Structure 1
Amino acid sequence: METTAEYCCAFCGEISSTFVDLSGGYTQSYVEDCQVCCRPNVLYVRIDEDTLEIAIDTDFQE
């Protein structure tokens, strides 16, 4: 099952939306380019097992 969540770009600070695949586990990480500045962000996704609330932290892609 997929849902969307927002994250803040580690480079430009803009808020973007991304698809999160809930079947991928409660902790995930992957690289996604910012929809505004096109620079690569590492997204660290955490999903609460009970509420399915999604939290995303970002970092620079080195």
Structure 2
Amino acid sequence: MADDDLGEVIVELVRNGPYVKCSAIHVATGREVSAIGPVNEPKSVERVAIAKLRRALSARL
């Protein structure tokens, strides 16, 4: 996945029963964050993970 202002981001979704875990890794820095949510809302969980990654990267600057 390529995001215009983030650069390249690897997104992984793993189901665990009624939940899904989304990990987002920023390729350039190796920074990783994750979010967990209901399995029927994977795109929402992905949006939360990307938002967390943005916050984590901005805190580094």
Q: If the length of structure 2 is used for normalisation, what is the TM-score?
A: 0.38
Higher strand share: 1
Higher helix share: 2
Determine which structure has greater relative contact order: mean sequence separation of CA pairs < 8 Å that are 6+ residues apart, divided by chain length.
1
